[in-house]
Each structure stands twice: as C-alpha cells, then as structure tokens.
Structure 1
Amino acid sequence: MTVFPDLSKLVQPRNLVVVGGSQKPNSEGARLLNNLAASNLGGEVFVVNPKMTGEEKQRCWPSVSSIPPVAIDVALVLVRAALVPGILRECANRNIPFAIVMSSGFDEAGPEGQALGAEIRALCATAGLRVYGPNCPGLTNIRDRVGMTFSPAYKTDIHCGRVGLVTQGGGAGRNVLQGLAFGAVGVGLWLSGGNEIDLGSAEFIAHMANDPDIDVITVVLEGIKHGKRLAAALELARERGKPVVILKVGRSEYGAKAAASHTGSIAGAAHVNRAVFRQFGAIEVDDIDELVAVTRLIASPARPTSSAVAVITFSGGAGAMAADHTGLQGLQLANLAPDTVSRLRACLPHFASTSNPVDVTADALKNPDSTSACLRAIADDPGVGAIVIPIPADYAAITDSLSQVVADVALEIAKPILPVWMSRRLGPGFELMEQRGLGPFTSLSSALSALRKAVGSGDPVAASVEREGATDPSQDCAADRLFASGEAAAKQMLSRAGIPVPEGILAKTPEEAADAAEKLGFPVVMKVASEQILHKTEVNGVRLSILSTQQATSTFRDIVGTVGILRPEARIDGVLVEKMFDERGREMLVGIHTDEVFGRVITVGLGGIFVELLKDVSHRMLPISEGDAKQMLGELRHAAWLNEFRNRPAADIEALEALLVRISSFAMEHTEIEEAEFNPVWVGPKGEGAYALDALILSTTPPTFSQ
C-alpha cells in the first residue's frame, strides 16, 4: 500500500521563513512578502536576506541558522539556483519539515541545473526535508487565506470553493483559478509543484483526497515522473469519492517536447496515460476550457443526473444544431413527460414547439414569466438530466432578459443549465451569466462534449485490486539486454500458470514430427523453434493445416532447410507440433510491455493481421481486475468482432476476460518479464475457451523455466 506524507503543515503553516525576501519594489521577493502580509498566518514570518540591514519594514536575519530557536513549518526559498542546496541543508539542520523552492534553473535548465536537482533529491532522501518545487509559483491556500506565492494576482484570489487544483505550471493554474472565479464553484486550494523534484502531483492529489473541504480535484499535468504513485493517488481519490478531472499536456510529439522542456519530466505515451486515467476513474479532458467546464459541472450543486438532454431555444435552427451535437456526443434527447408538455403548452404560444428541442419562439421571450415557467417545467421532468440553452446571437434587450431569467432560475433548480452563447458579440447577457457562475459556453460542441464527460464521471468504475505486487516506481528500469524465451519453453511456463495453450510436442527429427502429429490428431500446425527467431512468419517458419504423417515429415525438413538458409546464425532447437484450432474462433492479441512512466502495461486488441492494420487496442496498468478486463474489451472500436454476426457464433468473451486476468497475474509473479506478446490468442465460440496460440517472452534475466 502506498503511503503518502501528511502535508497539513505545508498547506496551513504557522511560522515561516522567507529566504530571499526583498523590499525592492515590484521584485518577486517583495511581492511574496506583501502576499504573506495579507495572509492569515497563526505565527511569524522570518526573513533571511544578508543585504537587508534591519532598518527596513521587515526584520531580517543573515541566515536560516541565525533565526531564534522556534518551530518553523515551511521555508520559502527565492534565490538563485546555485545557492538553493546550501540553504536547504540549513533548513534540514533546523528540522524545518517543508521547503517551497520558487527559484528556476534546475532540471529544466540543462546539465548544471540537473546536477543541482540531483543534489536536492539526495538531501531529501537522507535528511527528511520535503521539497515543493523548484521552478514554481508557490502555494495558494484560498480557503485559509495563506498566500505563499509571489504572484501579483494573489490579492484577487478571493472566490473560495471546494475544488482542489493541482498543476505543474503557474499560468495554467491561474487560468483555471480565474475560470472558476464566479458562482457556487471555486478553488479552495491550489498546489503547483513545478519541476516536482520531491513532492509532486501524486502527493498533492492524495492530500486533497483526504481533505474534507475538497469535493473535486482538478489537475493539469505536463509530465508524469512517478506513474505508480500517481495511480495510487487516483485510486485513493476514487475510494474517497472525489472525482478527478485531468488535462494531460504532451499528447502529441510537439506537446511532449514542450512539456519536457518546461518541467524537465517525462510526458509519457498518450495512449497509456489515457488508459491509466480511465482505469483509476479519472476524467481526461482535451483542453483547458473543457477542464474548467467539466470541473464546474461536476462540482456544482446542480450536477447532471443523466445523459438525457433537454434543449430550449428561441431559434429553430439553433435547436436543430444542438440536437445534432447531442447525438454526435453519444447523449440522448430526453423524452418529455406528458405533464411537462402540458405545462409547456400552458406557458408558451400555441405555435411554439413543445417537443424536445423546445422552441419557445421570440414571442415567449417578451414575457420573462413565461420563459421562467417553461424552464421550471423542464427542470421538474424526472427524465431530464441537463438543460442546454443555445443563444444564436446577441439581440440586446431580448437576450439580456433571457440571460436574467436563466440566471435566476439556475439558482433555484436542481438540474444544471448550460447556456451556449454562439455569437462572437459578447453582450451584457453573457457577462451577467458569467458573473452568476453559469460559465456560458461559446460553442455547442464544447458544451455537449463537457456534458458527456461530466455525466460519464458518475458511471460505475471497475473494482479496484490490491497492487502490493507492483514495484516501486523508483525501481522501474529496462535492462540493457533482454533475453528471449523459446515458444515451447514459454508455453510450458504459461501452462503451469493456468493459462490455456494448445497441446504441443517439440520434435527434433522428421520422424518425431510425424509421431507427434499422429499423436495429437490432424490437422496440426508446425513452427520452427529457436530462441534467436522472434518472428517466425518472417522466415517462413510456420506451416498450417498439416493433414498426414508424410506431410509432417516433409514439412519438418522444409522448415529447417528454409530457416537455415535465411537465418544461418540461428540455433534451431527443432519444430513445435501443435493441434490446429479451427476457423470459428476470433484472433486476438494480448501483450505486456514496460512503459517508462507507469511500469508494466497489459494490452489487448484484434490480433493476427488486424493488429497492424487497425491498431485497435486497449491498455491498463498491471495488475488488472475482472472489471478492468471487461472494460478493456468494451473500449475496442471493433468490439462487435467478438459478437455473433452472420453465420459466426459469438466468441467466448468470458474466457478471454479470464485469460487477461491470468496473464496479468502471471506477469506480476514473474517480475523479470519486461515484454511479452501472445498473438494470436484464439477465442472460440462461447463455452470453448481462449488459448494463447503463440507466445514470445522477453525477460531481464535468462529464462530458467524450460526444465
């Protein structure tokens, strides 16, 4: 079980020391002291600056060690990078538990900076000091009014809510903070760890998961340094019932390079990141606007209750477009109840449309009471999960009046209202809804996409599994050389682990091949056995549909002769003869590979020739549960391949799910396995099981399981 540190004294300290505080106007050191002066601290702020004489407004000391012997919770360090390690050693000697290093010039700044970062990591490992940063804007605790930051915008951070914000960069965090600056949803605690030399996103998410005053955790990740700790933090948040919304920067090659240069960390493979976020219940969004929107929707008291959408508008065209985007996002137009329709008819003109989308017409907008009654009727409908109001243009007084009605009703109903201001002319109505906390969208696609993700956050997630067998992320490393196992040896190991494989016999002569084929029963498959040949089809080392002993004898000689010519350096151990499976089955791929961020990952997808052609795969971090296996298969774009169609019976999906879980357990038991591929995996008709027809295992140590 992953243990996370208690950050209580970090986020709500009493006594502080500021190293690098200054009275120079507009300097970062001066802004930091000004923000602390405006904070609600229970203790004293000590300033270390040898250049300040003591005649200034703030009393100063020449060093950390010269400060009077009082308990200090946090050191705030804002000096040039080369001085930081020495100052941190002083802090450790004073038994200061936390240091926030705002200085830049470390992992993001080349070899010299990386050497300084390594020095700080070594100090943290041996001295017990926990470091936040460096290269960060500081820490902002809006809830308790503690501004350990040099940001000039801190004085405007007055809108407090129950959202916990975790970022690595300051600008992105400030964007989210300001995006949630109105209405019932706001940020209560913002932790921005910069380079994350020691403390980082995983520790911050875990702290917020345990914070009773945080309901939703919003995260912007540029890089992921400790994937397994991050996964454990996400799992903790899920256990505590705290939704996590994540924007992962670096999904493209360009973005990955920019993220690395900014934070000095690993961006990670986008498809694996996405799979792990899904595996541990986090909601991944596509951009920062969607991050703010989804956070607002799930943190609001009026949270979406279902994917059934009611559209209300005074423009038939806008209503049709909203209906279209509803379908494109996989949502549904709600079927309005008869009582709802009756109430709508009572408050709308006779020529208005009372079916969904509801077109109240411009006439209804002249009567605010009528529009209000219409909205309330729809909100009372139990079949409606959320209300979308597209506003196609700014019509001055008309849209101002509508905005007022929408803002007033939104405060009183239990269903979320998503206004969509489709015009580039942002009139007073837009500003009114913004200030009332509705966060009006500017496009239908963004509104419906955010709603889909917010609704999905309430879906049941796969049952968690104990991850005690997972190695510590600090120990994750690929060997310089991997050792390949032969297929016959690998299948012996799989069979002992309870993973179904075809019955097979390793033949070393043509006569043994004929005897083996007769014993197994025709038809059989024959494959070259060599640890030096990883892909047998590339050397014509596989033969199918062997139907007689004579054919088995000649096929043995043909395989050995052909492979010997194409790969003369390879040692051929013989030919593996196996019972051939029929064509009623589906071919799937199951693989294990080591991701540089999250460690070993399991992959499932369509196998055989389809894996390269369609690239239709799903991933999870090891180990996986039965629920994970079911979700993985459901995520495949061509999942219908496993179902019944035309004259082919449905595949044994339950057997495939069980196979995935067994392979996960097998890999966890054998930590030396770095990569493995089982392709194809034959999945027979329902009740006939799933078998690994081919197996390739690459290990960090020589295989020892063939005896």
Structure 2
Amino acid sequence: MSSVEKSGLFSDLHLLFNPRSIALVGASSRNDSVGGRTLENLQEFSNLKGPLYLINPTKSEIRGLPCYPSVGALPEPPDVSIITVPAKSVIAVLEECAEKGSKFAIVLTSGFGEMGEAGRRDEDTMREIAQRSGMRIYGPNCPGLNNINAKLGMSFSPAFRMDLAPGPIGLATQGGGLGRTIMQSMERGIGVAAWASSGNQADLDVSDFIHYMADAPDVKVIATIIEGFKSGEKFVAAVQHAADKGKPVVALKVGKSEYGIRAAQSHTASITGTAQINSMVLRQLGVIEVDDMDELVDTAWLLARQLPTGKESLVIYGPSGGAVTLAADKVGSAGLKLAEFETHTTERLKSLLPDYAAIANPVDVGTEIFTNSRLVDDTLQAVVDDPGVGLVLYAFPLDYGKVMRDNAESAVRVQAGTSVPILPVWMSDRLGDGYHALVKAGLVPSRSLSNAVRAVGHWIEWGRWIKQRDPDFKPQPVAHSRIGQEEPPTRTLSEVEAKQMLGRAGIPFMARGVAVEIEQAVLLADELGYPVVAKIVSPQIAHKSEVGGVAIGLSNANEVRVACEAILKSVAGKAPSASVEGLLIERMAGAGGVEVFVGVQRDAVFGPILSFGLGGIYVEVFKDISRRMLPLTRATCESMVREVQCFPLLDGARGKSKCDLRALEELLLSISQFVLANPQVREIDLNPVWVGAAGQGAIALDAVVIVEALSKNESE
C-alpha cells in the first residue's frame, strides 16, 4: 500500500492518469454520440500505452476494433473503464466493472445529482460501490479526463484534439465549460500537464486531483475552479500537501453571491459554503484566490515560469510614457514596490537612451524603438541585470507591425538568458505579429494592466506565505460531516451558564452574582462595589438591550433598585413569554479601553472558525473582521489582531494608551483551546470584550454560547 493510501483520505491515482488498459463501455460507430466521440479521441488523437477494449453487445467490431458483449467478457481487468451508456444503465455497468476488477471508472453520463433526489440516490449507490469494491469512480456528469503531457484524452469533447499544448500546469475543476476555457488559453501560450474535471463528485473529487498533482513530477502549479466542497477535511489535506511539495495552488471559487450559489448547486449539486469563510480558508492555507478566468491564467503561468521569493521589486518598462505611467499607478495602488536601480544600471541606460528618455523606474524608451533595432535588447538586458530587479512588467500599448514584432522578439531573446520574469502586457485589441511572437515563446502576454498587476501581487504574496507558513498547522477537521444533513437541535445557554462554562476554561469576566429579587440585587451590588451593570437573566433572551434588559453605570443602591424595576417592567412588556431567572449584577469595566468582538462558529465544511473585530454594534456596521480556522497559535492570534483596520485603536492611535494586546491574544488562544476541547459547542459570541491599557487585561463583558442539545450536562 502506498503512503497516499495509508493516509486514509486519498488513493493512488497514477493508473487513472496513466492507464495501461482502457475499456470503453458504450462504444459507438456514430461520431455524433458520446461513445463515438470518446472512441475517436482515444483512437485517433491519443497515444495509448496498452489495449483499448470496446464494449457494445450489439456490435462485433467498431472502427476496426473488436467489441465485447460485456465488461465481464474482457480478457483482463482494465485499469480504467469509461462509461458512456444512458443514466438508467450506469449502476449495473459499475457493478460489472467492480466485479471484473477495474481499478477506476469514469462516468461521462449525465442525469444524476444535478437532476434531483432520484439522481442523488444513484450517486449514493455509486459511493457504496466504490467503498465496497475499492474501485474509484470519477464523475458522473463530467467531460472526462485529459492527460495532455501523455497525449491521452478519455473524453467525449470534440475540442480535445485542438487543446494539446503540453506544459507544467495541473488543472482540477468541477465543471467542464470553465475548465475548457482555461485549456483554450493555450492560444495565449500556456501549457497544461493534465486536466481533471470531476463533475458531480460522487466519489473522487477535486481534492483528490489536487493531491495527485502535488506529487506529479510534470506539474509545477495547480489551477482549480471550485463550485463547492464535498469534504473540507480532504480539501485542506490536499492543498497542504501541495504546499509541502512547494507547489502553488491558484483557485477560482464560483458561487459567492446568492445568484451564483443557486447556479452552482443546480449545476453540480455541490455545497458552495459561505463566501467569507471560503476566502479566509483559502488565504490561511496559502491558496491564491482569484476573481476571474484571465486572472487565474495570468497568475498560474507566472508562478509556473518562476517561483517567487516574496521580496521582489518591479520594473515597469515600455515605449509609451502614458502606458508606463498608467502601469505605475496600478502598481502603486496594489501596494507593490518599484525597484531602485543601482548606479551602474542608471549609467548604462544613460549611455543607451537619448536625453529625453525616462531612465528611472518606470523606464520609457520612447520613439527610439523606431530607428534602433537593438535598443530593446540592450536596455532590457541592462534592467534584468540589476540585482534589485525581481520582475519586469513590459507594456505593449499598441501594435506597430514590424516595430512591435522586433520589440517582442528582443524581449524573447533577453528572457532566454535571464531568470527574471519578463511579463508582457499587450494592451491593444489588434493582435499583431509581436503578440504572436510572445505567445510562441511562452511569455503568455496579459491582456490588461490590471490583470497583470494582480497576478504579480499574487505571485509575490505566495512567496511570502510559503516562507512564513507553519508546516505543522493542522486545522481541526469536521469530525462527522453534516453536509446535506439536518443540523442537530441546539440550545442557547443563559449568560450566567455561558460565563460559568467559559470561566472554568480561564476566560476572564468581571466579578458578578445573580439575584432573584430586587433587594437581593442591591445587596449584591454593595458587596461587589460600584459602579455595576444590571442585566436580565433569561434563556430566551440573547440580545438583552433590545428588550430593555440592561442598565449600565449604576453607582449606588438607589440607582440599582430603580434600574432593576425598570428592567423587569420592560422585559415583561416586550418579551412576555420569556422565563425570568433573575438579575445579573456585575462590576463594570474600568474607564477607557476599547471594545472588541470575539466569535466562533462551526462551519459545516471547515469546522470551527474564530472571528475577531471591533465590538459593540460596529462589528455589523463596518464588518471589519479577521477569521481563522482553529487551532490558533500565538502567532496567528497576533496576526489576527493586527490585520483588522481598527488595529490602530488598539495600538494607541492619536496619543491614547496602547491596549493590553498580550492579554487579548491570550484570550483568543484560550477560546481556541476551549472550542477544541468542547465539540458540543456550536457558537460563541463574546461582544463586547473590553481591552484595557497595557497590564489591565482583556475581559469579556457579555457571552452567548450555543451548544448541541445532546445531554443535560453541556455546561458541566
């Protein structure tokens, strides 16, 4: 058994991508059928390593190859069985393939989970067959599997024969249409090692293919288009495996808006998840999230050309002052850094360019390109030779026929002799000979400055992330996935119960007590010392201020008495059905300080997620929140606190005292440890958490805890 199989999450997919024998079930002589087009791709446009067996009980031969009446009649178990029969026959064929000992089955047929409940039941049966037999199933409702570097098309697509540019990018998608869009970026010069399009993911999913590509020696970068997640645990393990292998993963997650979510669910019956949480998970795992297809191609290809250090400074180069200035604006707005030339580079450029040319960064070589065919070779070489230059953004603002072709060929020559990436940006809609020269050389010109700058930003950021990543970070998995299942019943603890539960875990709160009647509340306030806060205690009231259930700043016994009477009267009028268990009397936090928010929710896909931001009502107004999967470390607590825009308020903005950041980070760490130790806790809401000046601590002033209602002892 391989190390991959020992992990329990992944199988060895080498023979799926490189089969020694293939069976085509539903082979057809009709070129316009799925079985006919698949046979044509395999027979005419693929380099098969071994026999191709055709299964068709009504034919003796097709296209010169003999037909077998069934999979069971084959002389040997095939490594891969490709199934193209109608949906009603697929389950029976899968059973036959499993019985014969086929290692993999690719189900091209549609009409399953994307169609409704009956189709989802069929997919459940597919999973059961896979688990029982060990035969892994790819699909259904997919365009097949293409290993471009091996020239193997297990697909019915008529475009396979046209999309055969080999290369270093591994492509893993759910849908076929957008995957083919990436494949056809070969027209811009990219090369693809293999494309796996998983469809409905009844068994194998995108995570399996990412994991395989992380080990594949011919893959440098993994590009993926995700509609939904079948298993958060597998996805996390797959992309972490890619990071361990030093391979970037670039992802386009579709289904972010309400419209997009509905479309993704109807397309592949996937769980799309919450956009904010998905983006946070990708960022935390070092997956580069992009927003569109061009951005995905530009970013993946730049990474395939050269892995970054994370410290790169850029040079903007071109023959147009306006173009390089616009590029400089884009670079500055993205927060990227322009390189500063060393003296010898500046002197070299001065000697090559006329006095009116711009020789600082950006470099504008101007109209000299019309009269000096060596100008780009010499000046661009001077730029890439500078030790402070990590990348050159070369703007081609327009097509000047032979002039731009010569410029492009100069860039190709310089690139051949340097490891510094030259990223061309072809800004004109006229794709002249210069553009095609760049494409032919594999420089893959970007079609807009905005996309190019975004790609460079992603490129540099991944270099920083891979150097700073914690290879030992293992997020807590979802122990039992509830995707597609009803959530278990829950109950909300009263504030008193919640604070007792959290307090035993070391979460700090103010001194407090519960009174069952008003005079007892007054005595309790006297004991605690003023000022105090009075709150209603009721398991049915989570947001006390909305029903008049809170009074703050009570400085003497009479104020406590009056406030408690007002609280009870207001609650009786606004929440008459709520059961009142008493009044919570609590010392007030000291003057000053900053109020923040700390929350935890258990995501159905990725498990417990901790959120941090500005407290009170501002968390909902400004949505200035940082999030992380658990467990947290001291380093992640520190980065969470510092990445929110409100951090200057905690760091002593405008001459105020710095807050007790150490205590705040300790509180976040304690919450993380508490959640991991208490899997019955579904949600936590600490709002506000008061953070005092250095040395004064961080204290949760309110607490809401929701637990699974599995027993009567959740808070014990």
Structure 1 residues 466, 289: CA separation in 2 closer, same or farther (over 3 Å shift)? closer
Q: State the Cα RMSD in Å.
A: 2.1
Task: Give the counterpart of 1:682 among 676, 690, 698.
Answer: 690
Normalized against structure 2, the TM-score is what? 0.94
- Matching of residues 230-249 of structure 1 within 5 Å: 230-249=235-254
- SS across alignment from 1:458: helix
Aligned partners of 1:601 and 1:619 also within 8 Å: yes
Q: Report the CA distance between 1:440 and its aligned residue.
A: 1.3
Q: Report the CA distance between 1:242 and its aligned residue.
A: 1.3
Letter in 1 for 2:411: V
Structure 1 residues 77, 568: CA separation in 2 closer, same or farther (over 3 Å shift)? same
Structure 1 residues 447, 703: CA separation in 2 closer, same or farther (over 3 Å shift)? farther
- Matching of residues 202-601 of structure 1 within 5 Å: 202-301=207-306, 303=308, 306-460=311-465, 461-463=468-470, 467=474, 469-472=476-479, 474-475=481-482, 479-601=487-609
Q: Which residue of 1 aligns with 2:157?
A: 151
- Which has the larger displacement, 77-86 or 604-613? 604-613
Letter in 2 for 1:196: Q
Task: Give the counterpart of 2:144 among 130, 138, 145.
Answer: 138
Q: Which residue of 1 aligns with 2:25?
A: 19
Gaps of 5+ in 2: 1-6
Q: Report the CA distance between 1:433 and its aligned residue.
A: 1.0
Aligned partners of 1:304 and 1:454 also within 8 Å: no
Q: Which residue of 2 aligns with 1:632?
A: 640
Equivalent-residue separation in structure 1 for 2:246 and 2:165 (angstroms)? 24
> 1:129 and 2:141 equivalent?
no
Aligned partners of 2:310 and 2:464 also within 8 Å: no
Equivalent-residue separation in structure 2 for 1:684 and 1:31 (angstroms)? 70
Q: Report the CA distance between 1:692 and its aligned residue.
A: 1.7
Q: Which residue of 1 aligns with 2:3?
A: none
Task: Give the counterpart of 2:680 among 672, 687, 701.
Answer: 672
Structure 1 residues 275, 703: CA separation in 2 closer, same or farther (over 3 Å shift)? farther
- Which has the larger displacement, 55-64 or 416-425? 55-64
- Which has the larger displacement, 238-247 or 696-705? 696-705
- Which has the larger displacement, 322-331 or 405-414? 405-414
Equivalent-residue separation in structure 2 for 1:30 and 1:488 (angstroms)? 69
Structure 1 residues 191, 706: CA separation in 2 closer, same or farther (over 3 Å shift)? closer
Deviations 1:506-562 (A, max 9, x none): 222323322322332221212111111111111111111111233223333332232
Aligned partners of 2:130 and 2:136 also within 8 Å: yes
Equivalent-residue separation in structure 1 for 2:715 and 2:153 (angstroms)? 62
Structure 1 residues 582, 703: CA separation in 2 closer, same or farther (over 3 Å shift)? farther
Aligned partners of 1:136 and 1:170 also within 8 Å: yes
- Which has the larger displacement, 469-478 or 611-620? 469-478
> 1:58 and 2:61 equivalent?
no
Aligned partners of 2:369 and 2:403 also within 8 Å: no
Normalized against structure 1, the TM-score is what? 0.95
Q: Which residue of 2 aligns with 1:655?
A: 663
Q: Report the CA distance between 1:578 and its aligned residue.
A: 1.6
Deviations 1:294-343 (A, max 9, x none): 00111104757634221112211112111111111111222221111011
Structure 1 residues 537, 90: CA separation in 2 closer, same or farther (over 3 Å shift)? same
- Matching of residues 596-635 of structure 1 within 5 Å: 596-635=604-643
Structure 1 residues 115, 489: CA separation in 2 closer, same or farther (over 3 Å shift)? same
- SS across alignment from 2:61: coil
Deviations 1:245-302 (A, max 9, x none): 0011112222222212211112221111100001111000110101000001111047
> 1:117 and 2:98 equivalent?
no
Letter in 1 for 2:81: A
- SS across alignment from 1:533: coil
Structure 1 residues 285, 543: CA separation in 2 closer, same or farther (over 3 Å shift)? same
- SS across alignment from 2:464: coil
Q: Report the CA distance between 1:607 and its aligned residue.
A: 1.3
- SS across alignment from 2:705: strand
Deviations 1:391-419 (A, max 9, x none): 22222222222111112212211111122
Q: Report the CA distance between 1:205 and its aligned residue.
A: 1.0
Q: Which residue of 2 aligns with 1:30?
A: 36
Q: Report the CA distance between 1:425 and its aligned residue.
A: 1.7
Task: Give me the identity figure in percent.
Answer: 40
Gaps of 5+ in 1: none
Structure 1 residues 473, 422: CA separation in 2 closer, same or farther (over 3 Å shift)? farther
Aligned partners of 2:475 and 2:631 also within 8 Å: no
Q: Report the CA distance between 1:458 and its aligned residue.
A: 0.8
Aligned partners of 1:101 and 1:133 also within 8 Å: yes
Aligned partners of 2:308 and 2:463 also within 8 Å: no
Q: Which residue of 2 aligns with 1:643?
A: 651
Residue-pair matches, total? 705
Structure 1 residues 665, 462: CA separation in 2 closer, same or farther (over 3 Å shift)? farther
- SS across alignment from 2:89: helix
Q: Report the CA distance between 1:196 and its aligned residue.
A: 0.7
Q: Which residue of 1 aligns with 2:4?
A: none
Aligned partners of 2:534 and 2:586 also within 8 Å: yes
- SS across alignment from 2:125: helix
Structure 1 residues 614, 114: CA separation in 2 closer, same or farther (over 3 Å shift)? same
Structure 1 residues 250, 706: CA separation in 2 closer, same or farther (over 3 Å shift)? closer
